[in-house]
Structure 1
């Protein structure tokens, strides 16, 4: 998501301590904690509302956007067997020599 490793996080925390200062850091930490708790509660509330509105009959695997990955589509297409060849439609007979073909729709 944010793609931050441990070293980068440590540097960000040290910069935050230097910029904010050690005397205001506990208050900012409390505000961050409250923000995270509110975000978690909001997500849980959204999940509960969605489950209440939609119910359990939804097949969530049908709504998974990963199924539209082009690499997966090509891999699945290459893995499935080819359909059997269809019989060719019979060709119309050519008109007899010396006689022009007649088209009833053209007249």
Structure 2
């Protein structure tokens, strides 16, 4: 962080505040600003405590920078997806059979219907 640039900005804001507010009202404005920042800090602490209470101790283990949507570059995501090498070593999951899963519904094998001019595909005029 460039503190020199930040201090210059703060000094400029202070000078503008003195000119706009005036030297006689500046202490009262500074005190009001201090109260505002204290209330905001207390609100943030209470919110953090409530989140930890509601979400549990696992909230501390989350890497929030990793979940920041600003870090994602769509071009990089697409490039990684397109050039990702497929993993042929891992076998696909075996389908569950009726013998191992008695609750699984029995489905007929899917057949592909060939559409022709005499048997066009179904069309729903109300859906379009």
TM norm. shorter chain > 0.5: yes
Q: Are 1:77 and 2:49 matched, yes or no?
A: no
Q: Post-superposition, which runs of at least 4 consecutive aligned residues in structure 1 deviate over 6 A?
A: none
How many angstroms does 1:79 deviate by? 6.5
Kindly report the root-mean-square deviation, in angstroms, between the aligned alpha carbons of the 2 structures: 3.2
The alignment's TM-score, normalised by the length of structure 2, stands at 0.49
Match of 1:14 in 2: 15
Q: For the pair shown, which has the larger CA radius of gyration, 1 or 2?
A: 1
Distance 1:80 1:44, change over 3 A: same
Determine which structure has the larger helix proportion and give its number.
Answer: 1
How many angstroms does 1:81 deviate by? 2.2
How many angstroms does 1:8 deviate by? 3.2
- In the alignment, structure 1 segments of 5+ residues that lack a partner are 85-102
Distance 1:67 1:31, change over 3 A: closer
Measure, in 1, the Cα distance between the counterparts of 2:25 and 2:9: 22
Q: How many pairs were matched up?
A: 82
